[in-house]
């Protein structure tokens, strides 16, 4: 019973991860192409926040249920990378003013998520 619910929660978590990445990619590409998506599709400003909140809640619940420490080991490093993902996302979508800077921000954000997925799957930092 517990294992079944845990499996479903993990599937939900991975679904939120995928949605987060897809929504970031769409917004970053539109920002690179100078499409004013904030004006054209204002919901694209809100939906990612709702999804990311659910992503965090599912992640922290998984950590609680599996008794995984937030301050030791692989999960603490994953949370550190989460800060890099959040900051590089804000940088790409709001702060960077040139094409090259936006592209760098987007590349860092995507590579950071790839590293987080690798850590989540292997429970190893490197
Ligand atoms: C962009 C952010 C995140 C990404 C890319 C990500 C990625 C993943 C992936 C791919 C898995 C599935 C691993 C598997 O199938 O074995 C996973 C599991 C997990 N994640 Fe996340 N996650 C993110 C955010 C978080 C947050 C904020 C927490 C909060 C502490 C968290 C905690 C966990 C835990 C505890 C597991 C379960 C590990 C297991 O039982 O195998 N994650 N994550």
In order of 17, 31, 32, 74, 116, the CA distances from 102 in angstroms are 22, 8, 7, 29, 21
Can you give the pLDDT at residue 72?
Answer: 84
Can you give the pLDDT at residue 89?
Answer: 98
102 pLDDT band, cuts 50/70/90, is very high
Q: Is the CB of 85 under 6 A from ligand 1?
A: yes
Are 38 and 100 spatial neighbours (Cβ–Cβ below 8 Å)?
Answer: no
In order of 88, 102, 113, 118, the CA distances from 96 in angstroms are 10, 5, 20, 28
Using the mean position of ligand 1's atoms as its centre, give its distance from the Cα of residue 14 in Å: 7
Please state at what angle helix 99-122 crosses helix 2-32, rounded to 10 degrees.
170
Q: Is the CB of 59 under 6 A from ligand 1?
A: yes
List, for residues 44-85, the tens digit of each pLDDT value: 999 999 999 999 999 999 999 999 999 989 999 999 999 999
Using the mean position of ligand 1's atoms as its centre, give its distance from the Cα of residue 98 in Å: 33
Length of the chain: 126
Can you give the pLDDT at residue 1?
Answer: 72
2 pLDDT band, cuts 50/70/90, is confident
Q: For residue 48, which phi and psi values (nearest 5 degrees)?
A: -60, -35
Considering the chain, what is the average pLDDT of its residues? 97
Q: For the chain, which residues make up each domain, given as ranges?
A: 2-122
């Amino acid at each position: 019973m517990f294992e079944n619910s845990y499996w479903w929660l993990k599937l939900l978590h991975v679904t939120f991860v995928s949605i987060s990445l897809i929504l970031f990619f769409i917004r970053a590409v539109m920002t690179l192409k100078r499409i004013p998506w904030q004006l054209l599709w204002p919901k694209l400003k809100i939906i990612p926040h709702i999804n990311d909140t659910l992503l965090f809640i599912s992640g922290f619940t998984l950590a609680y249920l599996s008794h995984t420490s937030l301050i030791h080991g692989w999960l603490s490093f994953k949370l550190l990378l989460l800060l890099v993902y959040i900051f590089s996302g804000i940088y790409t979508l709001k702060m960077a003013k040139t094409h090259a800077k936006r592209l760098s921000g987007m590349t860092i954000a995507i590579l950071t998520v790839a590293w987080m997925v690798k850590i989540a799957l292997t429970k190893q930092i490197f």
